[in-house]
Amino acid sequence: MPKLFLLGDEALAQGAIDAGLSGAYAYPGTPSTEITEYLLKSPELRSGKITVRWTANEKTALEAALGMSYAGVRAMASMKHVGLNVAADPFINAAISGANGGLIVNVADDPSMHSSQNEQDSRLYTELALVPCIEPADHQEAYDAPGYAFDLAERLRVPVLIRLTTRLAHSRGPISRREGRPQNRLRPPEDTSRYILLPANARASYADLVRRQREFVRESEGSPFNALFPGEDEGLGIIASGIAYTYVLEVTGGAPRYPVLKIGQYPIPTRLVEGILNRCERVLVLEEGYPYIEGKIRGLTPRKSPEILGRLTGEITRTGELSPRIVAEALGLGTEEVRPPSKIPVPRPPALCPGCPHADTCRALKDALADRPGGRVFSDIGCYTLGALPPYEAIDTCVEMGASITMAKGASAAGLRPAVALIGDSTFTHSGMTGLLDCVNEEADITVVIVDNLTVAMTGGQDSSARSRLESICAGLGVEPGHIKVIEPLPARHEQNVAILKEEIDHRGPSVVIARRECVQTLRRRVKGKEGG
Amino acid sequence: MRREIVLAGVGGQGLLSLAAVITSAAMNEDLNVKQAEVHGMSQRGGMVESHIRLSDGEIYSPIVREGTADLLLALEPMEGLRHLPFLAPNGAFVGSSVPFVNIPNYPPLEAILSEIGKVKEHRLIDALAIAKQAGAPRSANMALLGAAAPFLGLREESLIFGIRSVFSGRLKEGAIEANIATFRLGLDTS
């Protein structure tokens, strides 16, 4: 088969298709979005062979994948690292119930926070759930990982997490495809007690999961994603995981003089680690994200204890992603002379697009609050977060998906008024609806402004789960219909919109203002095709 | 053969299409290719960069190391200057002299161009004027591709193959030809 040139995300998606994938669910989030975008463009979707859906959030995505796995077929859920926080409940409990058909959870971590609010490391979740993790080093491994992980999940009867990081997810490289594998047939589990996590069942399943951890480690010892390469100079050993392994090859011209342990499958392959610890005087650990391997191997007790170097000892920066340069410096290799950065360039922060409806909403909200001093705007994750920057400076918080409404409620209860929440349509359906229900039940004095641009704009315009039904959703949650207002955020309607916002802000109790106008980007794509290069 | 290339610009300037044309051309010559790109918030009028590595040997990392780029291709002067630390001492700077001003404090253009002028091998072209001349005002990226062609180490016909394969299906035939015309005008400046 011809070679393909794919993003790491796309390689993973193609690998899953070729490994007999039946269904994939996801909530968009950088840098994971292109996994599902690729599946949505695949011939397998068009022919109806596979099911691919954007879901309300990561939790519903993973639960749907778990249901498919229950039915016996191969399924996966994809998300960015912070999405796994939302899906943590099904993730950890699916390890107890176990997988029937192969179940994989693809998580793209974002060290250096290119597009995220933290750089949490998903490998720690696999430790919490006691399930294996595969961490591809390059594009071919990103392609190979799903097939291997599906087999592993079916062999060990647990979900398997595939961890990508930004630089692999968002870089392109060559992959060779293998022969496709047929999909599984419907085969629901015979032992249903596994899936009924009553304490009596769960205790037994959990004990079984714990007992089988040795087997999981043995799988890692023999995994093609892990390998120990000898080197002539045992003064130093290198342990490198994920893309860090390719950086080691890069800076050593493909021939490191030191022994190298490549780790691409967890739990950590203890014997392989001992092999390098026993052999080398010092060991340098290179990994994206947290000092996870580094911390774990300090607990191993080899015959001879080498000095272990890494993020915990300052050889590698504790925060931020790795680069070939950082790796070369840590190995004491000469690095190129670099021109000093020019002092002339100024930052060019991302901004709301010209004509963006959020800009009009931010202006209207700011004017509505101008003569109501002491008010705060609790906002959320989405393009409108850019309303924090000049010239708008219209929001006061952005913490995590859905926090706008519930933080506003808490602040209001503490006496902070007016308390306004500003949240997007998709973020609202992701994690805002339950918070609004709390507001209704508590008769909280807040105003929720839902900026409805009819899409998930930030990640490139995926379908929003709200689908223009926000009025009925809010009414269904119990907001008084008289206090659900719809405005059209346009400069020409500014005065009118400010008046409506003031009226609802002054209302004592929960109120909702839906600012509805289509995203200019999706509008442009819909109205006319692209011109020019 | 080995080329390390860094592309710098602003979201919406067609940087990723330009990168796709170069990688497609390189694969047409059976070279090994890796490319890194920045997505996400940078699409909102922020800075965008892409790294491309071409070789007839093995390539490991998708990232170009600072101080090693053979070519820095700048769709916009300030972004070009910002990425100068990537350029090798004898590397070439090829960029558009037309600023993309979407911030209130854009520095004086003369100061930027004068700094770029200190690079030994530098070419600044009015990519927008060339694109307009070719009748495709949105194809300034292709003018730059033409101007940069001598430093890419790729054949002219491969680059044209790259333009066709990247835009086929996305653009009408006439628009593809206009992009190729812009590329050729850019090539004439080199």
CATH number at residue A454: 3.40.50.970
Which has the minimum average pLDDT: A306-315, A416-425, B32-41, B98-107?
A: B32-41
Q: What does the pLDDT average to over B160-166?
A: 97
- A297 and A231 together in one domain: yes
A520 touching B (Cβ < 8 Å)? no
pLDDT value at residue A368: 98
Contact A4, A177 (CB under 8 A): yes
pLDDT value at residue A29: 96
Distance between the two ends of chain A, CA-based, in angstroms?
Answer: 30
Question: Is position A154 within any domain?
Answer: yes
Question: Is position A265 within any domain?
Answer: yes
User: Which long-range contacts (C-beta less than 8 Å, at least 24 apart) are formed by B165-168?
Assistant: B165/B24, B166/B17, B166/B20, B166/B21, B166/B24, B167/A533, B167/B17
Q: Give the integer Cα–Cα distance in Å for B117 and A192.
A: 73
Location of structure tokens 């402004």: A449
CB < 8 Å from B in window 391-450 of A: none
Contact B184, B139 (CB under 8 A): no
Question: Is position A180 within any domain?
Answer: yes
Residue among A109, A112, A246, A339 with most chain B CBs within 10 A, to mutate: A339
- A510 and A366 together in one domain: yes
- A270 and A318 together in one domain: yes
Contact A276, A229 (CB under 8 A): no
Nearest-Cα residue of chain A relative to residue B86: A338
Query: In Å, how far from its chain's centre is CA B77?
Result: 12
Query: In Å, how far from its chain's centre is CA A23?
Result: 19
Residue B63 clears pLDDT 80, i.e. is over it: yes
**Could you tell me which of A321, A3, A397 has the C-alpha nearest to residue A168?**
A321
Which regions of chain A are under pLDDT 70? 1-2, 301-304, 529-533
The answer to whether the Cα torsion of A514, A520, A522, A527 is positive or negative is positive
Beta sheet of A160-165, edge-to-edge order: A51-54, A21-26, A74-80, A103-109, A160-165, A133-134, A265-266
Question: Is position A341 within any domain?
Answer: no
Q: Give the integer Cα–Cα distance in Å for A330 and A310.
A: 9
Q: Give the integer Cα–Cα distance in Å for A236 and A257.
A: 9
- B156: buried, middle or exposed (CB in 10 Å: 19+, 13-18, 0-12)? middle
Nearest-Cα residue of chain B relative to residue A381: B41
Q: What is the DSSP letter of B62?
A: S
- A144 and A277 together in one domain: no
- A198: buried, middle or exposed (CB in 10 Å: 19+, 13-18, 0-12)? exposed
Contact A442, A402 (CB under 8 A): no
Q: Give the integer Cα–Cα distance in Å for A181 and A102.
A: 13
Domain enclosing residue A318, as ranges: 227-330
CB < 8 Å from A in window 80-119 of B: 81-82, 84-85, 87-89, 102-103, 105-107, 111-112, 115
Q: Helix, strand, coil: what percent of chain B each, to 5?
A: 45, 25, 30
Question: Is position A531 within any domain?
Answer: no
Take residue A450 and report the two structure tokens written for it: 């839902």
Location of structure tokens 């100061």: B111
Q: Give the integer Cα–Cα distance in Å for A142 and A169.
A: 9
Contact A65, A14 (CB under 8 A): no
Domain count, chain A: 3
A324 touching B (Cβ < 8 Å)? yes
Residue partners of A336: CB distance under 8 A and separation at least 6: B65, B66, B67, B68, B88
Q: Give the integer Cα–Cα distance in Å for A451 and A423.
A: 6
Chain A neighbors of B32, CB-CB under 8 A: 174
A349 touching B (Cβ < 8 Å)? yes
Contact B65 A383 (CB under 8 A): no
Residue among B44, B63, B106 minimizing CB distance to A350: B44
Question: Per-residue DSSP letters for A70-87?
Answer: HTTSEEEEEEEHHHHHHT
Question: Is position A181 within any domain?
Answer: yes
- A285 and A361 together in one domain: no
Take residue A374 and report the two structure tokens written for it: 């002491």
Alpha-carbon distances, residue A17 vs A30, A80, A304, A478, B126 (angstroms): 21, 20, 46, 43, 46
Q: Give the integer Cα–Cα distance in Å for B140 and B185.
A: 11
Q: Give the integer Cα–Cα distance in Å for A3 and A41.
A: 19
pLDDT value at residue A532: 41
Residue among B34, B65, B107 minimizing CB distance to A346: B107
Question: Is position A337 within any domain?
Answer: no
Contact A128, A89 (CB under 8 A): no
Three-state secondary structure call for residue A22: strand
Minimal C-alpha gap between A166 and chain B (Å): 9
Q: Give the integer Cα–Cα distance in Å for A262 and A495.
A: 62
CB < 8 Å from B in window 113-142 of A: 114-115, 138
How crowded is the C-beta side of A422, counted as CA atoms within 13 Å? 29
Minimal C-alpha gap between B116 and chain A (Å): 10
- A368 and A294 together in one domain: no
Residue B122 clears pLDDT 80, i.e. is over it: yes
- A105 and A75 together in one domain: yes
Chain A neighbors of B39, CB-CB under 8 A: 30-31, 33-34, 115, 170
A342 touching B (Cβ < 8 Å)? yes
Residue B39 clears pLDDT 70, i.e. is over it: no
B139 touching A (Cβ < 8 Å)? yes
Residue B132 clears pLDDT 70, i.e. is over it: yes
**In this structure, how many other beta carbons lie within 10 angstroms of the beta carbon of residue A43?**
9
CATH number for position A300: 3.40.50.920
Question: Is position A349 within any domain?
Answer: no
- A256 and A375 together in one domain: no
Q: What top-level class would CATH report for the domain B2-126+147-171?
A: alpha beta
Contact A453, A519 (CB under 8 A): yes
Secondary structure E strands in A120-203: 133-134, 160-165, 171-176
Alpha-carbon distances, residue A461 vs A349, A382, A464, B53 (angstroms): 20, 12, 8, 30
- A325 and A453 together in one domain: no
- A206 and A231 together in one domain: no
pLDDT value at residue A1: 60
Asked, as a colleague might, if the bond just before B99 is cis with ω within 30 of 0, I would say: no
Chain B neighbors of A253, CB-CB under 8 A: none
Identify the band that residue B190 occupies on the pLDDT scale cut at 50, 70 and 90.
confident
Dihedral angle computed from the Cα positions of residues A107, A111, A114 and A116, in that order, rounded to the nearest 10 degrees: 60
pLDDT value at residue A351: 87
Residue count (chain B): 190
Take residue A389 and report the two structure tokens written for it: 């920057």
- A296 and A367 together in one domain: no
- A458 and A408 together in one domain: yes
Q: Give the integer Cα–Cα distance in Å for A124 and A121.
A: 6
